[in-house]
Amino acid sequence: MENQIFQLQYALDTFYFLICGALVMWMAAGFSMLEAGLVRSKNTTEILTKNVLLYAVACIMYMVIGYDIMYDGGAFLAGIAGGDSLVADALAASKENGFDGDAVYSAPSDFFFQVVFVATAMSIVSGAVAERMKLWAFVLFAVVMTGFIYPMEGYWTWGGGSVFAASFAAWYAIKLVMGIRVSAEEEYEGVDLTECGMEAYPEFTSAGK
């Protein structure tokens, strides 16, 4: 009886993910019609092309790297590819957690649910820059937005990630690219440019206030 309840929970949770994801996906059609109605007729074709293209870019980028950043799902969804044991593994984990555990659902259905929201977020940007941005520039931003910006924010909010850790990683990457900022006197005297210290960036510390 208990196993049957878990199976029903698995089926319903997965069903809700797919249905709600499909409803959100149809928002793209609404955004497309809204944007097409708000721009000049000569730009209608480009607006519709942009909306189809952003969905393709969002799905590809989120599948390749975005889902891995946000939920540690593995590049190209390698972490959720369970094959024939996908359902059995989910039910076994649910049974181990008991009735007080988390929701039980298919991991690929969660990917579908998340990716439509990624594309929807990009659709909002599309409407904001309608007739104000070149198509190629928009596509480049879509790659960054759907592959890195949205997944990183989702990682902080829903993936249990640390904002401080990600911020420090970004700061350290900038340091590696741009180098440590030093004064002319320090450069003349010679400083260790390989040092990683907040004192090199006083504006990030209380001393720089």
* pTM attached to this predicted model: 0.70
At 157 the pLDDT is 84
At 54 the pLDDT is 93
Do 88 and 181 belong to one domain? no
Do 73 and 166 belong to one domain? no
Single out the residue in 161, 182, 201 at which a domain terminates. 161
| Maximum average pLDDT range among 6-20, 57-71, 151-165, 179-193 | 57-71
Do 79 and 175 belong to one domain? no
| pLDDT tens per residue across span 44-77 | 999 999 999 999 999 999 999 999 988 887 788 8
Do 27 and 105 belong to one domain? yes
**Worst-scoring range by mean pLDDT, 22-26, 45-49, 53-57, 171-175?**
171-175
201 has a pLDDT exceeding 50 = no
Query: Mean pLDDT of all residues in the chain?
Result: 77
Do 60 and 18 belong to one domain? yes
Do 203 and 131 belong to one domain? no
Among residues 94, 86, 81, 105, which one has the least CA distance to residue 11?
Answer: 105
At 83 the pLDDT is 60
Residue found by looking up tokens 């949205």 in the block: 150
At 75 the pLDDT is 81
Q: What is the 3-state secondary structure (H, E, C) of the chain?
A: CHHHHHHHHHHHHHHHHHHHHHHHHCHHHHHHHHHHHHCCHHHHHHHHHHHHHHHHHHHHHHHHHHHHHHHCCCHHHHHHCCHHHHHHHHHHHHHHHCCCCCCCCCHHHHHHHHHHHHHHHHHHHHHHCCCCCCHHHHHHHHHHHHHHHHHHHHHHHCCCCCHHHHHHHHHHHHHHHHCCCCCHHHHHHCCCCCCCCHHHCHHHCHHHC
Do 29 and 71 belong to one domain? yes
CATH assignment at residue 74: 1.10.3430.10
Region of 27 please: left (phi>0), alpha (psi -120 to 50) or beta: alpha
Do 99 and 124 belong to one domain? yes
Total number of domains constituting the chain: 2
